[in-house]
Amino acid sequence: MATTDDPLLLLRHSIAAGSKIIPTTSADSSEEAPLSAATHLVFTHPSRIAVPIDAPTRFTSSEGKAVDVRSIYFAWLNREFAIPEYNAVAAKLNDEMAGAATVHMFAFVERLVLFTFLEGAQEESEFIKPSAGDKDATTGAGAAATGATLKVSQAVLSRAGRGTLDPRLAQIYNGERRMGDRNTILRGIKPTDFSHVRKLAAPFMTRKPGGPPLAAGVNGANPSLALNQKPARRPDPIILLSPSASALLRMSNAKAFLEGGRYTPPDHNSTSTMLHISRLIKDIDPARPMRFILVEGPEQFKPEYWNRVVAVFTTGQAWQFKNYRWSNPAELFKHVLGVYCGWRGDQPPEAVRVFGHKVLTCSVEKWRDPGQPGAETSRWRDREVVEAIWKGIEGNMRAKGWRKDAAPSSI
């Protein structure tokens, strides 16, 4: 078969030269048409040649059937697609042709061989039948050359003679193994089922506190791995302060009061949004202090954070609870300890008294300017108030199920 009559070589030469390939509706037309309606493929290099688009080629499928020109050209146009994406666009083209013709669905190895041939990196393959000229060249070469000599096809030599490929480079290409890219290597004809990996991983999976149960038949703990497992990290308890400007405890002075046992007036210019304080809760974990998180509002809360709230400081104003999980104070203080701090000698607000015994009421000595005589003599009571607050928080934590290595799953 002459080069001008071989669609594979015409396509290969056109790709190497970068010339235009036009699907048309007739052999004489030069107007581009969609592949679903085209009847011919027009090559413009080295001269204008029109080939019927349904003509068979020397490329054969795994079943031994000759693949037509349309399928070869369509595969080259979509060479960047992985197998699943390519099959999808090929199926779409088949639907557009409505049974008049069908595009061949190339397998992984078929595509790899086709692309390496069209790119000029391979000459021979079990999928490509040799042309008559190649057979004659092989016979002559076998009579005149030794088995150690690499055979270079007449098509490559003719292309090399025009200056597009060095003959020595053509010999190297003939012995080269095409590797492909990550898409062609990692993706095959069928999707890989990795469901068996779940069974292999099951012994290494343990149930987290508060997490969903493991699949049926999976043990929550593997005795053989017990020595290698790290202890679960205990989540930090959360204390909500009142954002009210009239609250005695704000972000600016809560740490000094609850951790240091000394009251100072709040700084209303403070911009802190979160604090950490440490306290040893002996009945829960006598070995290490617990770290508490102090915030003024639950705006950044995830739903599970509410299970870690151990106290809510309030001034009795109901608007404080608007964005809480339980916006009704009576319902809120069934789940969380309430704390009200007021001045010693002043009566708590009526709203706090309505909340009932679920709200711990504490009285702090009124603040006096340290420059006044005797201002420091009453500050010793601050420590007494702080210990009463922590006693209430500790009792509430024990009742809700706090342990040294875990928080309660619900409150």
Do the bridges between strand 66-68 and strand 238-240 make them parallel or antiparallel, or are there none, so unpaired?
Answer: unpaired
pLDDT tens digits, one per residue of 319-332: 999 999 999 998 99
Say whether the peptide bond before residue 408 is cis (omega within 30 degrees of 0).
no
Range list of H helices, 175-292: 182-186, 196-201, 254-258
Euclidean distance between CA atoms 57 and 22, whole angstroms: 18
Instruction: For residue 103, give Cα distances in angstroms to 12, 76, 190.
Output: 20, 12, 19
pLDDT at position 224, please? 46
Tracing tokens 């590797």 back to the chain, one arrives at 179
pLDDT at position 172, please? 78
Q: Write out the H or E segment, with its range, that includes residue 42.
A: strand 40-43
Of the candidates 71, 85, 26, 13, the one whose C-alpha atom is nearest the C-alpha of residue 52 is: 26
Q: Which residues of the chain have pLDDT under 70?
A: 1-4, 132-167, 178-192, 206-232, 373-377
Write the CB contacts of 409 (distance below 8 Å, at least 6 apart in sequence). 209, 210, 307, 401
pLDDT tens digits, one per residue of 343-385: 998 999 998 988 888 899 999 988 887 777 666 667 788 899 9
Tell me the three state secondary structure of residue 364: strand
pLDDT at position 135, please? 52
- Whether the full predicted model's pTM is greater than 0.75, yes or no, is no
- Asked whether 37 and 98 are in contact (CB, 8 A), the reply is no
- Residue-range domains of the chain with CATH: 3-186 (no CATH), 238-400 (3.40.50.11990)
pLDDT at position 218, please? 45
pLDDT at position 258, please? 93
pLDDT at position 204, please? 76
Cβ neighbour number for residue 197 with a 10 Å cutoff: 9
pLDDT at position 133, please? 60
